[in-house]
Amino acid sequence: MLDVKLLRSDPDFVRDALHRRGGAELAGVVDQVLAHDERRRAAITEADALKAERNEASRTVGEIKRAGGDAEELIRRTRAVGEQIAELDRRVSATDEAISSLLLSTPNLPDPAVPQGGEEANQVIRSWGDPVRHPFPALPHWELGERLGLLDLPRGAKISGSGFPVLRGRGARLQRVLIDWMLDLHTTEHGYEELRVPYLVTRESLVGTGQLPKFEEESYLAERDDLWLIPTAEVPVTNLHRDELLGPEDLPLRYTAYSPCFRREAGAAGKDTRGLLRVHQFDKVELVRFERPERSADALEELTAEAESVLQKLGLAYRVLRLASGDLGFSARMTYDLEVWAPGVERWLEVSSCSTFGDFQARRANIRFRPAGGEKPAFVHTLNGSALALPRLMVALLETYQEADGSVTLPEVLRERVGTARLEP
């Protein structure tokens, strides 16, 4: 959520930043909010004066009664003031609601370093490894998966519909091993605390991180209990500290969590329907950081490097993109996408999105810290990134390490855990 004070003090700056992100219509919320804000403050000023009057009168009533006098006349007049106050209070809450409903649906402002434009303006800022070109006809992962008995898409579809893959045998084990190995990497080498979190969350939690109220159609809802399936572990992990005031010594906080992720992919019907490229349920290991504001820029670089280290250790070629303003997620201030090369489908696949949110989520979720003893509380900065998302990682792994005979040779780091060096039919 944007700070109303910022809109008030520098409306041109906010208008301009929102314009870069979503055009003139989006920039228009600034003036709408400011109009409500002005009405709101006028009503508060008026109501506060009447409340002061009422408090004074009530105090007097108490004194008169204690002295054994008759306060009827004063009570009657004060009752009328009470009605005026109620009317003004209604106006305050109406404008309040109008403002928060506008702001809850307004995305974060892009960082100045973010390139302007849509997807086509994303910048490749670095790459690692050489994209593999096999000297034989490379198979896509769904064929490899089927031949090697790792993947059973038809049965997944039978159970739950398309987009719900079944992994089996070595495939299931490989995925479990990758999760385990990544968690170990982040806890032992990167200083993260491992969390195991709920996969169903309240509406409030989704509002806290920014998925709601705007993207309701993207989430699954268990209506009977009004609980939502998480689209990412970011939601429960970030909300871990919702409505908390952290001490000066508490930051930074670094958490890693495995979770399944549930996404309706409502806007992507018909896109990437084959194999594991886009599914409704997938596994992911997530990194989440709570940082002091002055640390958040460096923290994003660190977090991105930590996600990259997974691909490096697996020997998979990837590139890092800085997303353009129009391609940023709702809550993000700046995002690096990691795209891994998949030689079977001959595409770069997004396996990680590392973002800083500034104080945007902290404001929505009310996560504050005390900068130093005695100082006023301030909002923390939150960051997160996938490290990594499993399906596309599996895709890149299988397609990259496939052999001419259809088998797959596993990278060294996984062999012991999987219990074999080669996946064969």
Partner RNA sequence: GGAGGGGUGGCAGAACGGCUAUUGCACCGGUCUUGAAAACCGGCGUCCGAAAGGACUUGUGGGUUCGAAUCCCACCCCCUCCGCCA
Question: Which residues are known catalytic residues?
Answer: 263, 278, 350, 353, 392
* Residue 35 makes contact with RNA by CB under 7 A: no
Residue 135 near RNA by CB under 7 A? no
61 binds RNA (CB under 7 A): yes
DSSP string, 313-332: HHT--EEEEEPPGGGS-TT-
Choose among 239, 275, 271, 277: nearest CA to 255.
239
Contacts of 347 (CB under 8 A, 6+ apart): none
Could you give the CA distance from residue 196 to residue 337 in angstroms, rounded to a whole number? 25
**Under rule CB under 7 A, residue 68 binds RNA:** no
Smaller CB distance to RNA: residue 359 or 399? 359
In this structure, the strands spanning 422-423 and 408-409 are antiparallel
Q: Among residues 124 and 222, whose Cβ is nearest to RNA?
A: 222
Asked whether 294 and 86 are in contact (CB, 8 A), the reply is no
Q: Which residues contact 152 (CB under 8 A, 6 or more apart)?
A: 146, 165, 166, 167, 168
C-beta closer to RNA: residue 339 or 359? 359
Residue 159 as a binder of RNA (CB under 7 A): the answer is no
Asked if 399 and 342 touch (Cβ cutoff 8 Å), the reply is yes
| The only residue of 58, 187, 281, 309 in contact with RNA, by rule CB under 7 A | 58
Answer yes or no whether residue 45 interacts with RNA by CB under 7 A.
Answer: yes
Short-list 71, 10, 111, CA closest to 356: 111
Options 135, 372, 405, 425; binder of RNA; rule CB under 7 A: 372
Q: Cite the DSSP H helix spans in 210-318.
A: 234-238, 296-314
Measured from the CB of residue 19, what is the shortest distance to RNA in angstroms? 25
State the binding string over 89-128 for RNA (x if CB under 7 A, else -). Answer: ----x-----------------------------------
Counting contacts by CB under 7 A, is residue 69 touching RNA?
A: no
Q: Does 9 bind RNA (CB under 7 A)?
A: no
| Binding window for RNA (CB under 7 A); candidates: 55-63, 176-184, 313-321, 340-348 | 55-63
Candidates 41-49, 108-116, 160-168, 307-315 — which segment interacts with RNA by CB under 7 A? 41-49
CA–CA dist 332, 384 (Å, integer): 10
Least spacing, CB of residue 116 vs RNA, in Å = 32
To RNA, the closest distance from the beta carbon of 40 in angstroms equals 7
Report d(CA 150, CA 280) in Å as an integer: 19
Give the full edge-to-edge strand order of the sheet including 378-379. Answer: 244-246, 367-369, 378-379
- Cis peptide preceding 213, ω within 30 of 0: yes
- The SS3 of residue 134 is coil
**Of 47-55, 114-122, 125-133, 308-316: span binding RNA (CB under 7 A):** 47-55
Q: What DSSP designation does 167 have?
A: B
Cα gap 319→345, rounded to integer Å: 17
Q: Which amino acid type is present at position 275? A: G
Which of 112, 161, 374, 425 binds RNA (CB under 7 A)? It is: 374
**Helices marked H in 28-71 — which ranges?**
29-66
229 touches 263 (CB < 8 A): no
Residue 83 or 217 with smaller CB distance to RNA: 83
Residue 376 binds RNA (CB under 7 A): yes
> Going residue by residue from 337 to 356, which x/- string records binding to RNA, judged by CB under 7 A?
--------------------
Number of residues that bind RNA (CB under 7 A): 29
Cβ proximity to RNA: between 65 and 274 the closer is 65
Q: Which segment (48-56, 149-157, 286-294, 315-323) binds RNA by CB under 7 A?
A: 48-56
Q: How many helices (H) and strands (E) does the chain have?
A: 13, 16
> Where does this chain touch RNA (CB under 7 A) — which range of 118-126, 281-289, 304-312, 372-380?
372-380
Question: What's the CA gap between 392 and 221, in Å, rounded?
Answer: 25
9 Cβ contact list (under 8 Å, min separation 6): none
- What's the full length of the chain, in residues? 425
State which of residues 13, 23, 49, 124 lies at the interface with RNA (CB under 7 A): 49
Interface positions, 233-272, toward RNA (CB under 7 A): 245
| Smallest separation, CB 340 to RNA (Å) | 37
The CB-of-36 to RNA minimum distance in angstroms stands at: 12
What residue ranges bind RNA (CB under 7 A)?
4, 41, 44-45, 47-49, 51-52, 54-59, 61-62, 65, 75, 78-79, 82, 93, 245, 372-374, 376-377
